[in-house]
Structure 1
Amino acid sequence: MIGKIFKNGILASVALAALASTAEAGGYSRGEADTDILFESGDFIFRAGATYVSPRRTFKTTGAGGAANNDGVYTNDYWVPSVAAKLTVSENFACALTYTQPFGADATYGPQARAAMVGLGKYSDKGFETNEYGATCDVKFDAGPGKFHFLGGVFLQDFTYDATNEGSGALPAGKFHLRDDGAFGYRIGAAYEITEYALRISLMYRSQVKHEADEGYYDFTPPLSNLPATGYGTLPQSLKLSVQTGVAPGWLVYGSVKWTDWSVLDALNYKIGTNPAQKDVYNWKDGWTIQAGVAHVFNEKLTGTVNLTWDSGVSTGADIHGDTITLGAGILAKVGPGDLRFGGGISRMASGSQSTLKHATFDATGGGGWAYGVTGSYKIAF
Structure 2
Amino acid sequence: MANHLMKTTALGLIAACAFVGGAQAGGLERAGYNIDLLFDPGQYTFESGVVYVAPQRKLENVVDEDASDSTMTTAQGYSDSTTETENYFVPRIGFKAGLTEGLDCLADYSQPWGVHTNPGADWVGAQQNIETKVDSDNYALTCSYKFDAGAGQLRVIGGAFYQEVGGFKERQVVTSETLTALGQTTTGVGRLDLEGDGYGWRFGVAYEITEYALRASLVYNSEVKLDNITGTLDLTEIPFVGGVLTNPLFGQVTDVYGSAVMPDTVELKLQSGIAPDWLAFGSVKWTDWSQLQRIPFFAEGTTTEATALELAYRDGWTVSGGIGHKLNDQWSVAGSVTWDRGTAQGFGSQTDVWTFGTGVSYTPSENVEFRVAGALSLLTSGSSGEVTVDGVTYGEDVSYDFGTDLVAAVSTSLKVRF
If the length of structure 2 is used for normalisation, what is the TM-score? Answer: 0.83
| Residue 240 (str. 1) matches residue 267 (str. 2) | yes
Q: Which residue of 2 aligns with 1:288?
A: 317
Shift of 1:345: 0.3
* Contact 1:178/1:213 (8 A) holds in 2: no
Kindly provide the CA deviation profile for residues 359-378 of structure 1, in whole angstroms up to 9, marking residues without a partner as x.
Answer: 02521222231111111110
Q: Which residue of 1 aligns with 2:139?
A: 133
* Contact 1:5/1:250 (8 A) holds in 2: no
* Segments ≥4 residues shifted beyond 6 Å: 65-68
Kindly provide the CA deviation profile for residues 91-111 of structure 1, in whole angstroms up to 9, marking residues without a partner as x.
Answer: 110110011111111111234
* Contact 1:131/1:157 (8 A) holds in 2: yes
Gaps of 5+ in 2: 66-72, 180-186, 240-250, 389-393
Shift of 1:43: 1.4
| Alpha-carbon distance in structure 1 between the residues aligned to 2:398 and 2:318 | 28
Shift of 1:24: 1.7
| Alpha-carbon distance in structure 2 between the residues aligned to 1:375 and 1:64 | 39
| Residue 330 (str. 1) matches residue 359 (str. 2) | yes
| Alpha-carbon distance in structure 1 between the residues aligned to 2:354 and 2:189 | 39
Show the 5 A alignment for 1:1-382.
2-6=1-5, 9-19=7-17, 20-22=19-21, 23-64=23-64, 70-111=80-121, 113=123, 115-116=124-125, 123-168=129-174, 172-180=188-196, 182-221=197-236, 225-272=252-299, 276-335=305-364, 338-358=368-388, 359-360=394-395, 361-382=397-418
Deviates more, 1:156-165 or 1:183-192: 156-165
Which amino acid letter does the alignment assign opposite residue 62 of structure 1? Answer: V
* Contact 2:369/2:415 (8 A) holds in 1: yes
* Contact 2:32/2:113 (8 A) holds in 1: no
* Contact 1:53/1:371 (8 A) holds in 2: yes
Shift of 1:175: 3.0
Shift of 1:86: 0.6
Q: 1:214 to 1:242 in 2, by over 3 A?
A: closer
Shift of 1:335: 4.1
Which amino acid letter does the alignment assign opposite residue 298 of structure 1? Answer: L
Which amino acid letter does the alignment assign opposite residue 178 of structure 1? Answer: L
* Contact 2:224/2:263 (8 A) holds in 1: yes
* Contact 2:14/2:334 (8 A) holds in 1: no
Q: 1:156 to 1:5 in 2, by over 3 A?
A: closer
Gaps of 5+ in 1: none
Shift of 1:271: 2.9
* 1:278 alignment partner, SS class: strand
Deviates more, 1:66-75 or 1:200-209: 66-75
Which amino acid letter does the alignment assign opposite residue 72 of structure 1? Answer: T
Which amino acid letter does the alignment assign opposite residue 2 of structure 2? Answer: G
| Alpha-carbon distance in structure 2 between the residues aligned to 1:259 and 1:158 | 22
* 1:12 alignment partner, SS class: helix
| Alpha-carbon distance in structure 2 between the residues aligned to 1:140 and 1:267 | 43
Q: 1:297 to 1:357 in 2, by over 3 A?
A: closer
How many residue pairs match? The answer is 375
* 1:21 alignment partner, SS class: helix
| Alpha-carbon distance in structure 2 between the residues aligned to 1:4 and 1:260 | 32
* 2:83 alignment partner, SS class: coil
* Contact 1:330/1:343 (8 A) holds in 2: yes
| Alpha-carbon distance in structure 1 between the residues aligned to 2:352 and 2:387 | 22
| Alpha-carbon distance in structure 1 between the residues aligned to 2:417 and 2:47 | 9
| Alpha-carbon distance in structure 1 between the residues aligned to 2:291 and 2:33 | 21
Shift of 1:4: 4.8
* Contact 2:60/2:81 (8 A) holds in 1: no
* Contact 2:373/2:410 (8 A) holds in 1: yes
Q: Which residue of 1 aligns with 2:246?
A: none
| Alpha-carbon distance in structure 1 between the residues aligned to 2:63 and 2:80 | 13
If the length of structure 1 is used for normalisation, what is the TM-score? Answer: 0.91
* 1:38 alignment partner, SS class: helix
* 1:316 alignment partner, SS class: coil
Which amino acid letter does the alignment assign opposite residue 350 of structure 1? Answer: T
Which amino acid letter does the alignment assign opposite residue 219 of structure 1? Answer: D
* 1:45 alignment partner, SS class: strand
| Alpha-carbon distance in structure 2 between the residues aligned to 1:72 and 1:172 | 20
Root-mean-square deviation (Å)? 2.5
Shift of 1:144: 1.1
Shift of 1:172: 4.7
Shift of 1:212: 3.4
**Which structure has the bigger radius of gyration?**
2
* Contact 1:251/1:294 (8 A) holds in 2: yes
* Contact 1:208/1:235 (8 A) holds in 2: yes
Shift of 1:286: 1.2
Identity %: 31
| Alpha-carbon distance in structure 1 between the residues aligned to 2:13 and 2:308 | 41
Which amino acid letter does the alignment assign opposite residue 363 of structure 1? Answer: S
* Contact 2:297/2:305 (8 A) holds in 1: no
* Contact 1:14/1:305 (8 A) holds in 2: no
Shift of 1:225: 4.3
| Alpha-carbon distance in structure 1 between the residues aligned to 2:354 and 2:34 | 23
